[in-house]
Amino acid sequence: MPPEPESPRRRDDNKPTPWRVEGAPEAKKQGPMGMPRPPGGRRFLYFVVALLALNFLFASLVPSKTDRSAVPYSQFQTEVDRNNVAELTSQGDEIQGTFKHEVTPQKLNGKADKPSTKFSTLRPALAPANDPLLSELQQKGVIVNAKPLDTGRSLWADILLFFGPTLLLVGIFVFAARRASAAGGMGGLGGLGRSRAKRYDVGEVSRTTFADVAGIDDAEDELEEIVDFLKRPEKYRALGAMIPKGVLLSGQPGTGKTLLARAVAGEADVPFFSMSASEFIEMVVGVGASRVRDLFTQAKAAAPSIIFIDELDAIGRQRGGGAGLGGHDEREQTLNQILTEMDGFTGSEGVIVLAATNRPDVLDAALLRPGRFDRRIAVSPPDVEGREKILEVHTRSVPLADDVDLKAIAQTTPGMVGADLRNLVNEAALLAAKQEHPAVESSDFYNSFEKIVLGTERRITLSHAERERTAYHEGGHALLGMLEPGADPVRKVSIVPRGRALGVTFQSPEGDRYGYDTAYLLGRITGALGGRAAEQIVYGTVTTGAESDLEQVTRIARSMVGRWGMSDEIGLVSVISDEPQYPGVDPASEATRELIDREVRRIVEECYVRAVDELTENRSRLDSLARELLERETLDEGEAYRAAGFERGAAPGDRPPQGLLKEPSVAPERPERPRTA
Cross-strand bridge partners of residue 255: none
Note the maximum CA span of the chain. Answer: 139
Asked if residue 616 lies in contact with residue 469, where contact means CB atoms within 8 angstroms, the answer is no
Pairwise CA distance, residues 636 & 490, whole Å: 8
Task: Name every residue whose Cβ is closer than 8 Å to that of residue 324 and which is 6 or more positions away in sequence.
Answer: 330, 331, 332
3-state secondary structure of 488: coil
- What CA–CA distance (Å, rounded) separates 63 from 61? 6
| H or E element in which residue 87 lies | strand 85-91
Asked if the bond preceding 128 is cis, omega within 30° of 0, the reply is: no
Helix (H, G, I), strand (E, B) or coil at 463: coil
User: Can you state the percent helix, strand and coil of the chain, rounding each to 5?
Assistant: 45, 15, 40
Residue from 341, 474, 484, 628 carrying the catalytic annotation: 474
Residue type, 605: E
Say if residues 377 and 247 touch (Cβ distance below 8 Å).
Answer: yes
The Cα–Cα gap between 14 and 230 comes to: 18
Q: How far apart are CA 469 and CA 475, in angstroms?
A: 10
Beta strands per DSSP E along 104-245: 116-122, 143-145, 198-200
Sign of CA dihedral 625, 628, 630, 633: negative
**One-letter-per-residue 3-state SS of 302-370:** CCCEEEEEECCHHHHECCCCCCCCCCCCHHHHHHHHHHHHHHCCCCCCCEEEEEEECCHHHECHHHHCC
User: 234: which residues sit within 8 A by CB, 6+ positions away?
Assistant: 18
DSSP output for 615-667: HHHTHHHHHHHHHHHHHHSEEEHHHHHHHTT--TTTSGGGSPPSSGGGS-EE-
CA distances from 283 to 185, 192, 193, 327 (A): 20, 10, 11, 17
From first CA to last CA, the distance across the chain in angstroms is 83
- In degrees, rounded to 5, the angle at the alpha carbon of residue 569 between the alpha carbons of residues 567 and 570 is 70
Q: What is the DSSP code (8-state) at residue 189?
A: G
Handedness of CA 443, 445, 446, 450 (dihedral sign): positive
Q: Verify whether residue 474 is a known catalytic residue.
A: yes
Half-sphere exposure for 664 (CA within 13 Å, toward CB): 12
**Chain CA centroid to CA 493, Å:** 38
State how far the alpha carbon of 438 is from the alpha carbons of 426, 430, 431, in Å.
15, 12, 12
- State the catalytic residues: 474
